[in-house]
Chain A
């Protein structure tokens, strides 16, 4: 009565076997994909970095001795030493650029080591690094005058900020 298929099994059984294998492989792959998924934090970290830079007087926020002007960047503070002291993570490097409203560069400073400096322009092609660029409108203090311009932060981060000890 039974029609013999491959290797003596009935055709019906072979079809069942095929579908069951597909279902099993699907469940297994979904589970493996979920368990090995990586948490991406680069956007959040770039946001925190931007807020640190613009809001804290220990970073770049302009402070006249009486009060701190949040969101106003003091260009005198924009250098490696200040950036290194205010926001420093071993896995993260960043470049801070101030431009005027016409897009003309006003000042640039970075907190990048030699490797990060070399990798930043080609970051998208590197598997072990990820990059993110954030551009916001800010005010900056220059020559006793508050001007409006753009703050661009280019961030480079080693992938998988987590490490197993």
Chain B
């Protein structure tokens, strides 16, 4: 009985040496897990940031909104006055000749976007810009 107890005790004291390799493996597994979770989180937050700050989309929406608004105003013969408030960071240019609405950021190098509007040759829309406010008048 006592010799068995001695053997057990010796084995017990040997155990930490035996587990060192296992604990290292466990540790590396945890690190790999953390790295993978971090990778997923980076992708998730990267995607959220990219979606929230989608500059191309903002430019597309502004040019499309304005072009379609112009089209809607030109559908009626009645006198219409409309004030369009442009987003602060965005600059809008109107090419009257080809009726192209171009939008770009004031202080950003994102590629400008353009959208075509209806060119009604029989009627003109008066557009006056005052900072970010565009006043449209149908005559």
Contact = CB atoms under 8 A, between A and B. Distances in A.
Given A85-B120, A161-B116, A165-B114, A2 B60 contact: no
A89 B117 contact: yes
B27 interface: no
B50 interface: yes
Interface string A53-68: 0011110010000001
B1 interface: no
B29 interface: yes
Nearest to A58: B122
Contacts, number: 115
B51 interface: yes
Contacts of B63: 162
A74 B77 CA distance: 16
Contacts of B74: 52, 56
Contacts of B47: 27-28, 30-31
Contacts of B39: 20, 24
A142 interface: no
B112 A10 contact: no
In the complex, which range does the number of interface residues on chain B fall in?
Answer: 35 or more
Interface in A31-53: 31, 34-35, 39, 41, 44-45, 48, 51-52
Interface of A: 1-2, 10, 12-13, 16-17, 20, 23-24, 27-28, 30-31, 34-35, 39, 41, 44-45, 48, 51-52, 55-58, 61, 68, 84-92, 161-165
Given A48-B68, A91-B116, 20 more contacts: A1-B22, A16-B36, A30-B47, A35-B50, A35-B56, A44-B68, A52-B75, A55-B76, A55-B77, A56-B76, A85-B122, A86-B120, A86-B122, A87-B120, A88-B119, A89-B116, A92-B116, A162-B64, A163-B114, A165-B114
